[in-house]
């Protein structure tokens, strides 16, 4: 494909920092670059940040911190990446799949309210495409039910809700630095600990259940096994690459905003006349422009658009399959019709190429290819 869906860009000092890390011969976790990444992110969130090998690992740490027992439930969006649910299921919880809103494709607070029960321990809110969930409503639900709000902020770093950073609302939040994310080190993630009471235990869980971090700081003269945990440290080579990306975050965000805005401005009229819906961005949400999705009138036209783009040398891709209809989701009781909006959106959504290095010429080709696709229909809204 002349224009892939995603393409990693070196935007600053990444390669120099990787060379520095390699020359230092400190390649394991919690080296100088890992510390710099954590400090950089902590200053953004105003909270403790622990670097991890992936967002999945950060979600698994959330499960540890919940102290889950058999029969406990965690409410998750069905329209989400698999580990949004599996990280908690692996620790014995029952995932309870909730539907998403028909315009933002974020967790629907009304549906969440219907699914909260006496064993609900957490609500996991994924900010789809970096567009903020209704955090006010979800926060009230969590407080009223006595459960924890966790933000799956894999898409939302540097996004905001009512002027406050996404990832700063839940007691815990997770970040992703996967190759497909706005800022990357190939694989990588972080746990944001907004509840100070969880910070000490999170640090122990992350380092094999030991208090080795306290030993590194000189607070104890030896470290030992204190709790259950696993190996959740980001390697120093990855941290070195990531720190170069974080330093250039403002420039990366500005470029992505420009790409996203051009897509919107040049495809909005085409979408309205063809029955194609764009993701709604509420006034209180300031996204980091992670995705540009289109919702086609039906599954056939979605598949036809993907094929049409491919013939033009452009890779457009679909996204999540509903978790409640997956083989594992069905074992937890999921059946067709449980989350009708998730099921409908999954059949009709396609994402356009969206990355820092998407130059004006290639974006013009993407836009031109989309505009020559003659989708028919009158309404782009989900038929839930």
Is 198 exposed, middle or buried (CB count within 10 Å of its CB: 0-12, 13-18, 19+)? buried
Average pLDDT for 322-338: 98
Give exposure, 44-81, as e/b (b: 16+ Cβ within 10 Å).
Answer: bbebbbbbbbbbbbbbbbbbbbbebeeebbbbbbbbbb
* 365 pLDDT above the threshold of 70: yes
For residues 297 and 348, what is the distance between their CA atoms, to the nearest angstrom?
7
Alpha carbons 9 and 255: distance in angstroms, whole number: 12
Mean pLDDT of the chain, nearest integer: 95
Q: What is the side-by-side order of every strand in the sheet holding 160-161?
A: 164-165, 160-161, 285-286
Q: Which domains does the chain have, with CATH numbers?
A: 14-247 (3.40.640.10), 249-371 (3.90.1150.10)
Query: For position 384, what pLDDT does the model report?
Result: 31
DSSP 34-84: HHHHHHHHHHHHTSEEEEES-HHHHHHHHHHHHT--TT-EEEEESSS-THH
Confidence (pLDDT) at 374: 78
pLDDT digits (tens, 9 = 90+) for 48-98: 999 999 999 999 999 999 999 999 999 999 999 999 999 999 999 999 999
Residue 188 has pLDDT above 60, yes or no: yes
278, exposed or middle or buried, with CB in 10 Å at 0-12, 13-18, 19+?
A: middle
CA distances 341 to 294, 323, 383, Å, are 15, 13, 7
The three-state secondary structure class of 174 is: strand
Q: Residue 122: pLDDT above 90? A: yes
pLDDT, tens digit (0-9, with 9 covering 90-100), for 127-144: 999 999 999 999 999 999
Contact assessment for residue 58 and residue 189, using Cβ atoms and an 8 Å cutoff: yes
């Amino acid at each position: 494909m002349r224009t892939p869906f995603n393409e990693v860009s070196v935007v600053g000092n990444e390669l120099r920092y990787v060379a520095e890390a390699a020359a230092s011969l400190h390649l394991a976790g919690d080296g100088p670059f890992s510390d710099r990444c954590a400090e950089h992110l902590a200053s953004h969130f105003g909270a403790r940040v622990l670097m991890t090998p992936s967002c999945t690992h950060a979600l698994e740490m959330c499960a540890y911190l919940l102290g889950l027992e058999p029969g406990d439930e965690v409410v998750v969006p069905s329209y989400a990446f698999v580990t949004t649910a599996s990280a908690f299921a692996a620790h014995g919880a029952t995932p309870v799949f909730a539907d998403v809103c028909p315009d933002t494709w974020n967790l629907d607070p009304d549906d969440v309210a219907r699914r909260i029960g006496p064993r609900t321990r957490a609500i996991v809110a994924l900010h789809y495409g970096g567009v903020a969930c209704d955090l006010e409503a979800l926060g009230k639900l969590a407080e009223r039910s006595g459960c924890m709000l966790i933000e799956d902020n894999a898409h939302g770093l540097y996004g905001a809700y009512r002027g406050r950073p996404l990832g700063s609302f839940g007691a815990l939040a997770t970040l992703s630095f996967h190759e497909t994310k706005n800022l990357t080190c190939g694989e990588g993630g972080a746990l944001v600990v907004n509840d100070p009471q969880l910070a000490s235990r999170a640090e122990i869980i992350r380092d094999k259940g030991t208090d080795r971090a306290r030993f590194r700081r000189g607070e104890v003269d030896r470290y030992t096994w204190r709790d259950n945990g696993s190996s959740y440290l980001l390697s120093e080579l990855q941290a070195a690459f990531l720190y170069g990306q974080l330093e250039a975050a403002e420039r990366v965000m500005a470029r992505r905003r420009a790409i996203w805005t051009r897509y919107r401005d040049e495809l909005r009229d085409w979408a309205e006349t063809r029955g194609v819906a764009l993701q709604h961005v509420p006034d209180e949400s300031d996204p980091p422009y992670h995705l540009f999705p289109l919702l086609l009138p039906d599954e056939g036209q979605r598949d036809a658009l993907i094929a049409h783009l491919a013939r033009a040398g452009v890779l457009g891709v679909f996204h999540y399959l509903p978790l409640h209809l997956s083989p594992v989701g069905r074992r937890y009781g999921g059946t067709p019709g449980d989350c009708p909006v998730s099921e409908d959106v999954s059949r009709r959504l396609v994402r356009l190429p969206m990355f820092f290095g998407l130059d004006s010429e290639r974006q013009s080709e993407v836009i031109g290819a989309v505009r020559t696709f003659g989708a028919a229909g009158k309404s782009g809204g989900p038929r839930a």
